[in-house]
Amino acid sequence: MSEKMTIKFTVNGIQEKKEAAVGQTLLKFIRDELHLTGTKEGCEIGECGACIVLLDDRPVNSCLILAVELDGKNLVTIEGLSQNGEMDRLQQAFIDHAAFQCGYCTPGMIMSARALIDRKPEPTDEDINEALSGNLCRCGAYQEIREAVKDASKK
């Protein structure tokens, strides 16, 4: 059996203490141990952005990070964006603009966009293009995504 380590962290506002296998990626840990399956896997090697989550407010590809690195940190996943049944304004803007089709890239896309707006409340097209260039959407909802992000940042 692989070696385990106890880690303490906050996930979506809740403090947790859990065992994590030493070689396990944060992505697998989030999906298989925390059962937060909103975070998706599209490549496992940092190329698609489907697995992006916020770690201490920074967007990270969770497939590239080890679960044990979560120790002492604050993790926010797509499930943590809606609070008390209220969606984040970005989530609402994605709905209003139909900024997705299959929805598989959407959690990662929204987390990247959230980090952008937090850092830059009124992003330009170029800011959006740059911040989301690591999030692939094969359904090609890019035009709607740009509109949704701008719309959400106005509010």
Partner 1 sequence: MADLKYVGTSVTRKDAVEKVTGQAKFIEDLYIGPMLYAKMKKSSVAHGKIINIDTSKAEAHPGVKAILTGKDYKNRIGLYLIDRSIIAVDKVRFYGEPVAVVAADSEKAAAEAVELIEVEYEELPAVFDPREGMKPDAPLVHEDLENYDIVPIFYPKPGTNIANHFKLRKGDIDKGFEEADHVIEREYYVPQMQHVPIETHKAAAHWSPDGKLTVWSTAQSPNVVRQLLAKCFEMPMHKIRVISNFIGGGFGCKAGASIEGLVVPLAMKFPGYVVRIVFSREEDMQGTFTRQALFSKLKTGIRKDGRITALQYEMIWDGGAYTEYGVNIVRAAGYSSSGAYDIPNVKTDSYCVYTNNSIGGPVRGFGMCEMQWGIERQIEAIAEELGMDPLEVRLINGMKKGSTTAAGQVVHDVDFEKCLKTVTDKIGWGKKEGKFRGKGIAGLVKCPAQPSNAASSAIIRINEDGTAHVLVGGSEMGQGMLTAMSQIAAEGLHIPTDRIEIRVPDTDFTPYDWQSVGSRVTYTSGRAVKQAAEDALGQIYRVASDLLEVPAEELTFDGKHVYSTKDPEVKATIREVADSCKKCTGEGIAGPIIGRGSFVPTNMTNLDPETGQGNPGLFYCFGATAVEVEVDPETGVIKILQLAASIDAGKAVNPQLCTVQLHGGTIMGLSTALFEEVRFDKGVMLNNNFTDYKIASIDNTPHIDSFIIETPESGGPYGARGIGEQPMIGVAPAIANAVCDALGVEFNTFPLTPERVWEAIKKKQAKG
Cα–Cα distances in angstroms (integers) from residue 47 to residues 63, 110, 115, 126, in the given order: 10, 17, 18, 20
Residue 15 C-beta: closest distance to ligand FES, Å: 26
Residue 61 partner contact from partner 1, ligand FES, none using kind-dependent CB cut-offs of 5 to 8 Å = ligand FES
Q: 8 or 95: whose CB is closer to partner 1?
A: 95
Give the ranges where 1-155 is alpha helix by DSSP (H).
26-28, 89-96, 106-119, 125-131, 142-154
Return left, alpha or beta for 85; rule: phi > 0 is left, psi -120 to 50 is alpha, else beta.
left
Residue 9 C-beta: closest distance to partner 1, Å: 19
Residue 144 partner contact from ligand FES, partner 1, none using kind-dependent CB cut-offs of 5 to 8 Å = partner 1
Residue 128 C-beta: closest distance to ligand FES, Å: 15
**Which pairing describes strands 4-11 and 58-61: parallel, antiparallel, or unpaired?**
unpaired
Q: 43 or 87: whose CB is closer to ligand FES?
A: 43
